[in-house]
A = this chain, B = another copy of it.
Amino acid sequence: MNATTSRSVVLASRPVGIPQAEHFRIVETPVPALTPGQVLVRTVYWSVEPAMRGWVNAVGNYSEPVAVGAVMRSLASGVVEASTHPDYGVGDLVTGMFGWQDHAAVDAHVISHRIDPQGPPLSASLGVLGLNGLTAYFGLLDIGEPRAGETVVVSTAAGSVGSAVGQIARIKGCRSVGIAGGENKVRQCLDVFGFDACIDYKSQDLAQELRNACPGGVDVYFDNTAGPISDVVMAQLNIGARVVVCGTASIASWDPMPSGPRVERHLLVKRARMQGLLIFDHADRFAEGRAQLASWLTQGRLKYLEDILPGIEHAPDAIAGLYRGENQGKRLIQVSRDPTSGNA
In the complex where A271-B276, A275-B273 touch, is A264 in contact with B223 (Cβ < 8 A)? yes
List the B side residues contacting A257 at CB < 8 Å: 261-262, 265
Inter-chain contacts of A264 with B (CB < 8 A): 223, 226, 230, 245, 248, 251, 276
Residues of B within 8 A of A62 (CB): 269
Of residues 254 through 292 on chain A, the ones whose CB sits less than 8 Å from some CB of chain B are: 254, 257-278, 281
Q: Please pick, from B259, B273, B277, the residue contacting A260 in the complex, using a CB distance under 8 A.
A: B259
A61 an interface residue at 8 Å Cβ cutoff?
Answer: yes
In the assembled complex, which residues on chain B have CB atoms less than 8 Å from the CB atom of A266?
A: 276
In this complex, the interface size class of chain A, counting residues with CB under 8 Å from chain B, is 35 or more
The digit string for A131-153, where 1 denotes a CB below 8 A from any CB of B, is 00000000000000000000000
| List of B residues within 8 angstroms of A272 by Cβ | 275-276
Residue of B nearest to A248 (CB): B264
Assuming the contacts A259-B259, A259-B260, A260-B259, asked whether A275 and B271 have C-beta atoms less than 8 A apart, the reply is yes
A162 to chain B, nearest CB (A): 16
| A60 sits at the interface (CB 8 A) | yes
Complex alpha-carbon distance, A61 and B269, angstroms = 6
Q: Are A268 and B245 interface neighbours, CB within 8 A?
A: yes
B281 and A276 contact, CB distance less than 8 A: no
Q: How far is the CA of A247 from the CA of B269 in the complex (A)?
A: 10
CB closest residue in chain B, given A54: B269
| Contact present for B278 and A271 (CB under 8 Å) | yes
Task: Kindly list chain B residues whose C-beta atoms are within 8 Å of the C-beta of A270.
Answer: 276
Chain B residues lying within 8 Å of A258, measured Cβ to Cβ, are: 261-262
Q: How far is the CA of A61 from the CA of B263 in the complex (A)?
A: 14
CA distance A137 to B279 in the complex (A): 32
Task: Name the B residues within 8 Å of A261 (CB-CB).
Answer: 257-259
Chain B contacts of A61 at CB under 8 A?
269
CA–CA, A218 to B86, complex, Å?
45
Which residues does chain B contribute within 8 Å of A278, judged by CB atoms? 268-269, 271
Q: Are A265 and B254 in contact (CB under 8 A)?
A: yes
Query: In the docked arrangement, what's the CA distance between A272 and B281, Å?
Result: 12
**Contacting pair A262 B260 (CB below 8 A):** yes
Cβ-defined contact, A263 with B265, below 8 A:
no
Please measure, in the bound complex, the distance between the C-alpha atom of A266 and the C-alpha atom of B226, giving whole angstroms: 11
Q: Which residue of B lies closest to A263 (CB)?
A: B263
Query: Across the two chains, which residue of chain B brings its CB closest to A272?
Result: B276
Give the complex CA separation of A264 and B245 in angstroms.
7
Alpha-carbon distance between A248 and B261 when the two chains are bound, in angstroms: 14
- Chain B residues with CB under 8 A of A248: 264-265, 268
A262 to B245, CA, bound (A): 12
Q: A266-B276, A268-B276, A274-B275 are in contact. List 13 more A-B contacts (CB 8 A).
A: A223-B264, A245-B264, A247-B268, A248-B268, A259-B259, A267-B275, A267-B276, A268-B277, A271-B278, A271-B281, A272-B276, A273-B273, A273-B274
